[in-house]
Amino acid sequence: MIGMGMIFDETYRPFFERAHAEGIYRRDFGVIDIELSAVASRTGSRAEKYRQEAGAKITPFASFAGAASTQQLLTHGVDAVCVATPDDRHFESARLALEAGKHVLIEKPSVLKLQELDALDTLAKKNNALAKIVYHKLGDPDHKKLHTHYVDGNFQHVNNGYCTLLEPKSISGSQFAEWIQGRNPGTYVAVHYIKLIDFTFGGKWKLARITCNGQRGIVGPATGNTWDSVQLQIVYAYPDGREAAFDIHTSWVTPDNFPGYVDQEVQFRFDNGVWNAHQRKRGVEMTIENRTPGNLKITPNHHYNGSFLEPWGERSQRGYGIEIIQKFFEEVAYVEFAGPPALREERLTQMRALDYNDVGADRNTVAIVQAMEALLERQAQGQPAGVVEVNGPRGGLVLLTPGKIEAAVLYSNRV
């Protein structure tokens, strides 16, 4: 495990603790033991705290800290590596792990540039390893139902959509304060919806252009490069000449006493219908004196990683945020144990073909992230209102700025 912050605690920790107690099982690969063997982190303090808190819930693990911690972890006999570091540190850790021949799971966004994605995909193929990404919103029951309706033809031809995900100030002001300088909430959370849109509705269309705008002045200086809020627009083109446009609004400056931890919703419009879904308002509201909306929320989401007392007396923690991590380990187990070694390459090819989480299927998502980062950088330099064109005559990703004749080629190959 590389990175021991909030994401580890919310999803990886409950998965590893349950896997330690029960393993994972499927008829094709049998019973598989999964142990958290080693962790790498910046200081080692959170790893040590977790070791003390977990006790017998987990196998004793090695903890490495500092600049060389990833390299040290990779010599510890691990089979798979999970990367849950800040966004701009994913690439180097994933690259080192794939070079060592390890299966890799990366938190979203996978990387920030297509050049980096190409490198990871090449390494995974060269070293016969899986390289996967955590997009847990694809496992949300509401989003799975949307995808089902679209594939089954109930919704026809998506025209446009609006998505929003607003994080509290505690994210930007305390939890992520050590790495937030120069960063933006779009890359951090808009990527959830970028992937949701591309996976749910994609296939026939082509990514056409990206525009972006942002606001500053709360998390950092009003003239700096640290962003409070970001508004992103993505346009896809269909073969028949029609287009689909999607606006994604994100921020991490919502007041901490907001009724829910995050406010998040989607609206999609089709030729024959509309889909509205609110991922904060799930039908439950509660109030407890002196506890809501502080350490408990008025409108909680129990589907992501809810903690429960089961009817049969067991304490459990489950939800789509944890299930999506288990799916990665099931895919690894399938490759390694679901048949004879002579057919491993065939099984590896099958798992790589899963376009919901493979790096090879992440091109549009990373292209949009790379464009967004470049557009915000130009705005910080006093050159707003740019547009990135995709797969035009000048290259795969080309940034055009009003008033400037020359174009900036962000990525020369086709997206």
Q: In this structure, are residues 286 and 184 in contact, taking their beta carbons and an 8 Å threshold?
A: no
Query: Which residues make up the CATH 3.40.50.720 domain(s) of the chain?
Result: 6-137+316-360
Report cis status (omega within 30 of 0) of the bond before 402.
Answer: no
Rounded-to-integer distance, Cα 405 and Cα 415, Å: 23
Is the full-model pTM beyond 0.85? yes
Distance of CA 135 to the CA centre of its chain: 4
CA max distance for the chain? 69
Is residue 192 a contact partner of residue 135, using CB atoms and an 8 Å limit? yes
Every domain of the chain with CATH number 3.30.360.10 lies at 155-297
What pLDDT does 260 receive? 76
Residue 266, SS3 per DSSP? strand
User: pLDDT in tens for each of the 415 residues of the chain?
Assistant: 999 999 999 999 999 999 999 999 999 999 999 999 999 999 999 999 999 999 999 999 999 999 999 999 999 999 999 999 999 999 999 999 999 999 999 999 999 999 999 999 999 999 999 999 999 999 999 999 999 999 999 999 999 999 999 998 988 887 677 788 999 999 999 999 999 999 999 989 999 999 999 999 999 999 999 999 999 999 999 999 999 999 999 999 999 888 877 889 999 999 999 999 988 888 899 999 999 988 888 888 899 999 999 999 999 999 999 999 999 999 999 999 999 999 999 999 999 999 999 999 999 999 999 999 999 999 999 999 999 999 999 999 999 999 988 999 999 999 9
Question: What's the CATH code, domain 6-137+316-360?
Answer: 3.40.50.720
Record the tokens describing residue 248, joined without a space: 């994604």
Helix/strand/coil percent split, the chain, to 5: 35, 25, 35
DSSP, collapsed to helix, strand or coil, labels residue 344 as helix
CA neighbor of 64 nearest in space, from 80, 79, 51: 51
- Where does 155-297 sit in CATH, by number? 3.30.360.10
Measured distance CA(68)–CA(22) in Å, rounded? 33
- Residue 411, token pair as written in the block: 């990525």
- Picking from 109, 20, 26, the residue whose alpha carbon sits closest to that of residue 60 is 20
pLDDT at 295: 83
